[in-house]
């Protein structure tokens, strides 16, 4: 199974944190938030990733192309010929990462459509944003999606009222409203699961296609969008304040999204 991560947005609301790095590369501790999201999936056995690149995608490519060297001790011998030796000791993730160029300014729906060739087929695939972390149980999310028989599942969370609202009844999305003036229920927390065969009828390659509008609203109207209700931790990183908050949790050892260490500890008990 594969996990698609949207990494191409402009991140204009968090430019105070960095003018150089794209938002998915902003570090929480010593690693980008993107790495934290990928670790969350890997903790549930999903290690095949498709990253939808756009704005400053080169920074993400550089990170993965140089991942082993940046995570290890290295010895550089200068002169002619020069050499670089990467020493053992770095953590080996065992991930497969497809770095897909999906357009500098494309919207979310177009980015998903652009990676169809990597994920279409009989198996469902996961999708989330490259700027939010959660302790959602992805194994249970996948099981819920399978039981629902629907084309798509969205993780519905309870956050601040500035996000788009999801109206849920009997585990189905009744309404999908993108950022209304006031919210009273759950909202789109990302961590989607899509049917790898049927979702493409709802997506468009038009660069202006926004996943959260016509595609998800149509799925909802047709009774094909299930809601996995998550009441645990969920936090986007849209502002400098949220960036600082996530780093504070990490530095204090209080990061709820660090499910990989907890699962590893449980497996060794």
Has residue 262 got a pLDDT over 90? Answer: no
142-200 confidence digits (pLDDT tens): 999 999 999 999 999 987 545 556 777 788 887 777 655 444 578 999 999 999 999 99
- Whether the per-residue pLDDT at 9 is higher than 90: the answer is no
Residue-number span of the structural domain to which 147 is assigned: 2-267
Domain CATH number, residue 100: 3.90.550.10
| Residue 90 binned pLDDT confidence (cut-offs 50, 70, 90) | low
CA distance 177 to 159: 15
- Per residue in 101-113, pLDDT (tens digit) is 999 999 999 999 9
Residue 215 to residues 28, 162, 194, 220, 221: CA-CA distances in angstroms? Answer: 32, 21, 12, 9, 10
In this predicted structure, the answer to whether residue 130 has a pLDDT above a threshold of 80 is yes
DSSP for 96-140, please give it. EEEEEE--SS--HHHHHHHTHHHH-SSS-EEEEETTEEE---HHH
Give the mean pLDDT of the chain.
88
Domain count, the chain: 1
Q: Percentage of the chain with pLDDT > 70? A: 87
């Amino acid at each position: 199974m594969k996990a698609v991560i949207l990494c191409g947005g402009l991140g204009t609301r968090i430019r105070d944190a960095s003018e150089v790095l794209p938002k998915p590369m902003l570090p929480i501790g010593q690693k980008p938030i993107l790495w934290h999201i990928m670790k969350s999936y890997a903790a549930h056995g999903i290690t095949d990733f498709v990253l939808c690149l756009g704005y400053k995608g080169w920074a993400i490519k550089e990170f993965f192309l140089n991942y082993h060297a940046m995570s290890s001790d290295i010895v550089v011998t200068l002169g002619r010929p020069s050499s670089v030796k990467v020493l053992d000791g770095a953590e080996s993730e065992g991930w497969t990462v497809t770095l897909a160029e999906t357009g500098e300014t494309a919207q979310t729906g177009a980015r998903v459509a652009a990676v169809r060739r990597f994920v279409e087929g009989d198996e469902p695939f996961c999708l989330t944003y490259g700027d939010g972390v959660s302790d959602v149980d992805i194994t249970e999310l996948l099981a819920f999606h399978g039981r629902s028989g629907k084309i798509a599942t969205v993780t519905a969370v309870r956050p601040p009222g500035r996000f788009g609202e999801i109206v849920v009844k009997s585990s189905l999305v009744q309404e999908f409203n993108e950022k209304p003036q006031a919210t009273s229920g759950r909202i789109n927390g990302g961590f989607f699961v899509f049917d790898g065969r049927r979702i493409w009828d709802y997506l468009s390659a038009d660069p202006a296609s926004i996943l959260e509008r016509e595609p998800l609203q149509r799925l909802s109207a047709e009774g094909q969008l299930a809601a996995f209700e998550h009441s645990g931790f969920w936090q986007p990183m849209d502002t400098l304040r949220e960036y600082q908050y996530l780093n504070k949790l990490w530095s204090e050892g209080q990061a709820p999204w660090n499910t990989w260490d907890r699962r590893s500890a449980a497996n060794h008990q």
